[in-house]
Amino acid sequence: MECGADGPGVSGRVTAGQAADWFRSCYQAPPAGIWRAPGRVNLIGEHTDYNDGLVLPFALDRDLIVVGSRRADGVLEVRSRQAGGAARALKLAAIAPGRVSGWATYPAGVAWALRSAGIAVGGANLVIDSDLPQGAGLSSSAALACATALALTGLYGVAVPRTDLAALARTAEQEIAGVPCGIMDFCASLLGQPDHALLLDCASGAHEAVRLPLDPAGLRLLVIDTGTRHALADGRYAQRRQECERAAHTLGVRSLRAVTRESDLAGLPGTLRARARHVARENDRVRAAVLALRAGAISELGPLLTASHASLRDDFAVSWPQADIAVAASTGAGAVGARMMGGGFGGSVLALVPLADETTARAAVAAAFADHAWAAPSFLVARPSAGASRLA
């Protein structure tokens, strides 16, 4: 069988069996193991992670799968069906910041971060397949890094605590892929639990599972991919981070987490005050969301989501026209709340919708996009699911 990119699993959902078949066709040998890591949705707590704040993500029921085996020559060979299927071979000893390009920076970065931390992993053949859309704000990059981290440590039989793996996967994305990301995505992918969100304190690393039983509440979380794409590596995300740092510095605090009262912000100039206000209020919204969930009042998340969106649009200035329209159209058609997700300037909107209104809400968003002559949005039902695991 040909080892090409157009075998089974090109479209639709990925399965471990299909990915393993592809591995066998590439290497004429069975794999030593199969691992999966999910993408994530952040329920609430946006642009708080790098401000030592609170976030409330959950792992998605969409995975990136890594099928692998060891190799003895110190080479990491990676292929991804989503990247055309061609092999990229990298000498582990030559991986360093600035030395790898393209999507292979993620698996290469993980190998580099693990080895730099003294964790004895070596060469491997890794074959990757995924049903996570890329650049849609569902953290396909973290899924790739986390699945690779599990695969390499699994292949070499080293046990690393999940919180350490999350930190190392983050280091990989920061140092080798050059993306100034926070810890949230990696924790969500590695620590997620079915029907739970993960309350994560980005200052201390403390985390706690919070029940999020959507089906019994008759609710759905709908991810609306607006079709516009973000690039975290572009200047605007970095600019927001710098603005937050400047605001903290001006206030004489280590991070904006220290802001607890709005009166604390009085000394800041207008733009910085607005940025800091978003962060402080967003932390409060995460706290309120957790209280609502603990009280079993899931629909109370709705107004919090919509308030988060308004704050990201007006104070933090990271929304984009398609997101504003998707929020307005969905909440106008039954959604109890909606907000943009992710870094901003593109990606997806998250809407909390009663089951009975889901069809109407989808149609309203699609109609609003058609009115603007924008490409049709796509929809995905987000189910809080299990974190990364070994499948075989």
Question: Does the footprint of ligand ADP cover residue 135 (CB under 6 A)?
Answer: yes
Do 21 and 8 touch, CB atoms closer than 8 A? yes
Q: Which of 60, 64, 114, 223 binds ligand ADP (CB under 6 A)?
A: 64
Partner whose footprint covers residue 82, from Mg ion, ligand ADP, none (CB < 5 to 8 Å by kind): ligand ADP
Question: Does the footprint of ligand ADP cover residue 138 (CB under 6 A)?
Answer: yes
Partner whose footprint covers residue 250, from ligand ADP, Mg ion, none (CB < 5 to 8 Å by kind): none
DSSP secondary structure code for residue 130 in this structure: E
Question: Does the footprint of ligand ADP cover residue 22 (CB under 6 A)?
Answer: no
Do 256 and 241 touch, CB atoms closer than 8 A? no
Partner whose footprint covers residue 83, from Mg ion, ligand ADP, none (CB < 5 to 8 Å by kind): ligand ADP
Question: Does the footprint of ligand ADP cover residue 106 (CB under 6 A)?
Answer: yes
Q: What angle do CA 318, 323, 328 make, to 5 degrees?
A: 125
Structural tokens at position 334: 């039954």
Partner whose footprint covers residue 327, from ligand ADP, Mg ion, none (CB < 5 to 8 Å by kind): none
Picking from 66, 114, 69, the residue whose alpha carbon sits closest to that of residue 92 is: 114
DSSP secondary structure code for residue 147 in this structure: H
Q: Is 157 left (phi over 0), alpha (psi -120 to 50) or beta?
A: left
Picking from 372, 210, 362, the residue whose alpha carbon sits closest to that of residue 293 is: 210
Active site residues: 185
Closer to Mg ion by CB, 170 or 278: give it. Answer: 170
Q: Which of 26, 43, 110, 128 binds ligand ADP (CB under 6 A)?
A: 128
Closer to ligand ADP by CB, 31 or 344: give it. Answer: 344
Distance CA 5, CA 86 (A): 7
C-alpha radius of gyration, the chain, whole number: 21
What is the nearest approach in angstroms of ligand ADP to the Cβ of residue 196?
22
Partner whose footprint covers residue 134, from Mg ion, ligand ADP, none (CB < 5 to 8 Å by kind): ligand ADP
Distance CA 352, CA 121 (A): 42
| Footprint of ligand ADP on 224-263 (CB under 6 A) | 232
Closer to ligand ADP by CB, 230 or 257: give it. Answer: 230
By CB under 5 A, name the binding residues for Mg ion: 139, 141
Q: Is 126 helix (H, G, I), strand (E, B) or coil?
A: strand
Closer to ligand ADP by CB, 136 or 169: give it. Answer: 136
Structural tokens at position 285: 């919204």
| 74 to 103: interface string for ligand ADP, x by CB under 6 A | ------x-xx-------------------x
What is the nearest approach in angstroms of ligand ADP to the Cβ of residue 82?
4
Picking from 321, 285, 290, the residue whose alpha carbon sits closest to that of residue 306 is: 285
Structural tokens at position 199: 């309350």
Residue nearest to Mg ion (CB): 141
Would the CA dihedral through 23, 32, 124, 148 be positive or negative?
Answer: positive
Q: Which of 141, 308, 319, 322 binds ligand ADP (CB under 6 A)?
A: 141
Distance CA 2, CA 273 (A): 58
Closer to Mg ion by CB, 139 or 331: give it. Answer: 139
Closer to ligand ADP by CB, 232 or 286: give it. Answer: 232
What is the nearest approach in angstroms of ligand ADP to the Cβ of residue 332?
27
Q: Is 97 helix (H, G, I), strand (E, B) or coil?
A: coil
Closer to ligand ADP by CB, 31 or 107: give it. Answer: 107
Q: What is the identity of the amino acid at 295?
A: A
Would the CA dihedral through 349, 354, 357, 358 be positive or negative?
Answer: positive
Stretch that binds ligand ADP, among 135-143, 207-215, 218-226, 262-270 (CB under 6 A): 135-143
Binding site for ligand ADP (CB under 6 A): 64, 80, 82-83, 103, 106, 128, 130, 134-141, 144, 232
